[in-house]
Amino acid sequence: MGMTEVLEGGVGMMLAAPASPGAGTGASRPQAPREPAVLLQNARIFDGRSGALSAPSNVLVRGRLIERISTAPIPVDGGAGTTVIDCGGRVLMPGLIDAHWHAMFSTLPAVVALTADVGYLNLVAGKNAELTLMRGFTTVRDMGGPVFGLKRAIDEGVIVGPRIYPSGAFISQTGGHGDFRLSNELPRDGSAPLSYSERVGAAAIADSPDEVRLRAREQLMRGATQLKLMAGGGVSSEHDPLDATQYTEPELRAAVEAAENWGTYVAVHAYTPRAIQQAIAAGVKCIDHGQLADEATAKLMKERDVWWSLQPFLDDEDATPMPDEARAAKAREVIEGTDRAYQLAKKYGVRLAFGTDVLFEAKLAERQGARLTKLVRWFTPAQVLKMATADNASLLALSGPRNPYPGRLGVIEEGALADLLVLNGDPLKDLKLLEDPDANLLVIMKDGKVHKNRLVPDDARR
């Protein structure tokens, strides 16, 4: 006889098929067991691309992949057991992607992140990786930090967290945005020891094309899926002015050549037209930030098909606190440029990515989804969700053969990787649902594995 079992924690119903007549008799050749499956029934799908929801549909996930999507009923295949989740007409969408995240540095104060034992940093990052996934972010592009061990632990199932596309250490010139040394550590000659941030893999200080090439190759050797260089001044750093242009075109080109030889690309931190234009001339494929870009720079990004990873930095409750007036003034300048930057990106049709860039603030990390909802100032909810799913996935695909997760991300299509969310409401009407993931994300699936399910089967409720 068949068997129905309600899984502990309300994950769904496990349906086993009746035994075949020849089972255990040796009458037929045994077949290899099929991978377990999850059947999501009666869901309205936002597929990552379309601006509208589908008709009520059923989605069959087998192993890591979406095997079948149909408006007609999908028969339950009990060969290896099928977990059935009735979505009750709720919205099913791809997992969210944060294209500018710092898994090692998002929650700890700067002084702790840059001085504490790296074992402690990894333990804290591991806990916060799980919280990131529980906010619905099934993938992150990590834009600087020693995350290779964290990524491995997640990939091997040691801990729970999102897929990580790591950049490795920030590559920075002396005095650049990624130079975390104190003034009393200067000057450094060839015999001086590396600073702590360099030793743990948070930063890589490089001056000259040859040094940049060396540090770039080191990150690629460690498993970087893309490189991150500091091409201009920053807000949170203590020493460099915001308008500073960092590196020369030959230095940037050295990193681009190293990345291209490895089959991937370079992204840069830059705000000003001069810094952005120099990076584009060197062959950089993605500009992160860019709030001070002018019209000519936005037009150039479009002409060269360069990605713009732009963050909605605003003067609101989620503004990052600054420790002194000098850095607060830099923050105000960036905030004032945010609206114009989005308007220019829309005007010229630049390829936009969404990222949060939370640093050193645990409370802001908790607001990861709220950062996404701010984009409704410039876009429809459907456009916002497309940016944080299918569009961000296209940016990740620039890593080419260095992609650690080959397959289609950010979409609900047959054959795509099964990173899925079920929402308690319609995000195309109310994107603010994502501001409260505990209440509104009812199912979270990553790589075909259900990590959260609050949709208890009807028979269990009875």
User: Residue 225 is part of which domain span?
Assistant: 96-378
Q: Is residue 402 part of a domain?
A: no
pLDDT of residue 19 exceeding 50: no
Confidence at residue 81, expressed as pLDDT on a 0 to 100 scale: 81
**Residues counted in the chain:** 462
Confidence at residue 424, expressed as pLDDT on a 0 to 100 scale: 97
Q: Is residue 456 part of a domain?
A: yes
Lowest mean pLDDT among 23-27, 70-74, 218-222, 356-360: 23-27
Q: Is residue 393 part of a domain?
A: no
Look up tokens 């801990």; give the residue: 159
Confidence of residue 199 (pLDDT cuts 50, 70, 90): confident
Q: How far apart, in Å, are the Cα atoms of 458 and each of 12, 13, 87, 293, 462?
A: 10, 10, 11, 54, 6
Give the percent of the chain with pLDDT over 70.
Answer: 89
Lowest mean pLDDT among 188-202, 214-228, 379-393: 188-202
Confidence of residue 238 (pLDDT cuts 50, 70, 90): confident
Last residue of a domain, one of 326, 352, 378: 378
Closest to 383 in 3D by CA, of 42, 46, 29, 51: 51
Does 62 share its domain with 127? Answer: no
Q: Is residue 174 part of a domain?
A: yes
Does 241 share its domain with 104? Answer: yes
Rounded-to-integer distance, Cα 35 and Cα 448, Å? 11
- Convert the pLDDT of each residue in 405-447 to its tens digit: 999 999 999 999 999 999 999 999 999 999 999 999 999 999 9
Confidence at residue 355, expressed as pLDDT on a 0 to 100 scale: 97
Paired sense of beta strands 441-446 and 3-6, if any? unpaired
- Convert the pLDDT of each residue in 254-265 to its tens digit: 999 999 999 999
Q: What is the mean pLDDT of residues 183-202?
A: 77
Does 428 share its domain with 299? Answer: no
Does 81 share its domain with 160? Answer: no
**Angle formed at CA 393 by CA 389 and CA 398, multiple of 5 degrees:** 160
Last residue of a domain, one of 320, 355, 378: 378
Confidence at residue 80, expressed as pLDDT on a 0 to 100 scale: 60
Does 40 share its domain with 178? Answer: no
- Convert the pLDDT of each residue in 63-89 to its tens digit: 999 999 999 999 987 556 889 999 999
Q: What is the mean pLDDT of residues 311-324?
A: 89
pLDDT of residue 208 exceeding 90: yes
Q: What is the mean pLDDT of residues 357-368?
A: 93
Which parts of 60-208 fold into alpha helices (H)? Answer: 110-113, 118-134, 148-155, 196-199
Lowest mean pLDDT among 157-161, 240-244, 252-256, 270-274: 240-244
Rounded-to-integer distance, Cα 413 and Cα 450, Å? 18
- Convert the pLDDT of each residue in 340-350 to its tens digit: 999 999 999 99
Confidence at residue 110, expressed as pLDDT on a 0 to 100 scale: 86
Last residue of a domain, one of 378, 394, 420: 378
Confidence at residue 193, expressed as pLDDT on a 0 to 100 scale: 76
Q: Is residue 126 part of a domain?
A: yes
Confidence of residue 186 (pLDDT cuts 50, 70, 90): confident
Q: What is the pTM of this model?
A: 0.90
Q: Is residue 404 part of a domain?
A: no
Rounded-to-integer distance, Cα 143 and Cα 148, Å? 12
Rounded-to-integer distance, Cα 142 and Cα 285, Å? 16
Does 265 share its domain with 357? Answer: yes
Does 18 share its domain with 51? Answer: yes
Q: What is the mean pLDDT of residues 91-95?
A: 98
**Residue 442's domain is classified under what CATH number?**
2.30.40.10
Does 292 share its domain with 433? Answer: no
Which parts of 308-397 fold into alpha helices (H)? Answer: 325-348, 362-366, 368-373, 381-386, 392-396
Confidence at residue 451, expressed as pLDDT on a 0 to 100 scale: 98
- Convert the pLDDT of each residue in 102-161 to its tens digit: 999 999 988 898 889 999 999 999 999 999 999 999 999 999 999 999 999 999 999 999
**Residue 310's domain is classified under what CATH number?**
3.20.20.140
- Convert the pLDDT of each residue in 38-58 to its tens digit: 999 999 999 999 999 999 999
Q: What is the mean pLDDT of residues 235-248?
A: 91
Confidence at residue 60, expressed as pLDDT on a 0 to 100 scale: 97
Confidence of residue 197 (pLDDT cuts 50, 70, 90): confident
What does the block give as tokens for 1? 């006889």
Count the domains in the chain: 2
Does 108 share its domain with 49? Answer: no
Q: Is residue 10 part of a domain?
A: yes
Q: Mean pLDDT in the chain?
A: 90
pLDDT of residue 332 exceeding 70: yes
Does 24 share its domain with 72? Answer: yes
Q: Is residue 268 part of a domain?
A: yes
What region, left, alpha or beta, does residue 17 occupy, with left being phi > 0 and alpha being psi -120 to 50 degrees? beta
Confidence at residue 449, expressed as pLDDT on a 0 to 100 scale: 97
Does 132 share its domain with 80? Answer: no
Does 81 share its domain with 117? Answer: no
